[in-house]
Structure 1
Amino acid sequence: MRPRLRAESRKDFGLRTWVETLQFFGLLLLELVALFTVITFAVVLIDRRIGAETLKRWLSGNRITAPLKGVAVGIITPFCSCSTVPMLMGMLRAGAPFTAAAAFLISSPLIDPVILAMLAVMISWQFMLAYTVVITISSIAIALVWDRLGLANQVRKVIVTGGAVDAGPWRGLASEAKPAIVETLRTLKKLSIPLAIGVAVGAVIHGAVPSSVLAGLGNAAWAIPVAALIAIPLYIRGTAAIPIGLSLVGAGVGIGPIFAMIISGTGASLPEATMLSGIFKPRLLAAFLFSIFAIAVAGGFILPIFT
Structure 2
Amino acid sequence: MEFINSLWKYVVTSAPYLMLGFLLAGLIKALISDEQVKRWLGGNSLWAVIKASIIGVPLPLCSCSVIPTAVSLKKSGASNASTSAFLISTPESGVDSISITYALMDLPMTIFRPIAAFMTATVAGILQLFFNKENYKDPNGPTKSCCSCHEKVQVATCCDSKPKATLFIEKLWQGVKYALLDLMEDMSFWLAIGLISGALIDFLVPAEFFGQLNGFWGRVVILAIGIPLYICASASTPIAASLVMKGLSPGTALLFLLVGPATNISSIFVLQKYIGKKGVIINVATICVVAFILSYVVDWIYLYFAMPVNFKVSEHVHEDHTGIFSIILSILFLSLLIRGIYLSKIKPIFEK
Instruction: Measure the CA separation in 2 of the matches of 1:296 and 1:73.
Output: 20
Quote how far apart the aligned CAs of 1:248 are.
Answer: 1.6
CA contact (8 A) 1:216 1:253 kept: yes
Percent of aligned pairs sharing the same letter = 21
Residue 155 of structure 1: SS of its match in structure 2? coil
CA contact (8 A) 2:54 2:118 kept: no
The one-letter code matched in structure 1 to 2:121 is S
Q: What is residue 273 of structure 1 aligned with on the other side?
A: 268
1:116 corresponds to 2:98? yes
Does residue 231 of the first structure (1) align with residue 226 of the second (2)? Answer: yes
* Contact residue 223 and residue 256 of structure 2 kept, 8 A: yes
The CA deviation string for residues 161-192 of structure 1, in whole angstroms up to 9 with x for no partner, is 4232689x741459xxxxxxxxxxxxxxxxxx
Output aligned runs, 1:43-122, within 5 Å.
50=35, 57-60=39-42, 63-122=45-104
Shift of 1:146: 1.0
**1:171-210 equivalences in 2 (<5 Å):** 171-172=159-160
Please name the residue that 2:143 is paired with.
163
Structure-2 separation of matches of 1:173 and 1:222: 58
Q: Normalising by structure 1, what TM-score?
A: 0.62
Measure, in 2, the Cα distance between the counterparts of 1:67 and 1:246: 31
- 1:116 positional shift: 1.4
User: One-letter code of the match for 1:155?
Assistant: Y
Aligned mates of 1:296, 1:55 — CA distance in 2: 26
The alpha carbon displacement at 1:61 in A equals 6.0
User: Could you tell me how far apart the structure 1 residues matched to 2:68 and 2:96 are?
Assistant: 21
Two-structure CA RMSD over aligned residues (Å): 3.2
Separation in 1 of the partners of 2:58 and 2:161? 24
| Compared CA separation, residues 226 and 97, structure 1 to 2 (3 A) | same
Higher relative contact order at CA 8 Å, sep ≥6: structure 1 or structure 2? 2
Aligned to 1:153: 134
Query: In structure 1, the residue corresponding to 2:63 is in which secondary structure?
Result: coil
Q: CA deviation at 1:156?
A: 3.6
Alpha-carbon offset, residue 112 of structure 1:
0.5
> 2 CA distance for matches of 1:250 and 1:166?
52
TM-score, normalised to structure 2, is 0.54
- Residues matched between the structures, number: 220
Q: CA deviation at 1:81?
A: 1.3
Distance verdict in 2 for CA 1:164–1:224, change over 3 Å: same
In structure 2, give the amino acid aligned to 1:100: S
- The 2-side partners of 1:234 and 1:130 are apart by 22
3-state secondary structure, aligned to 1:153: coil
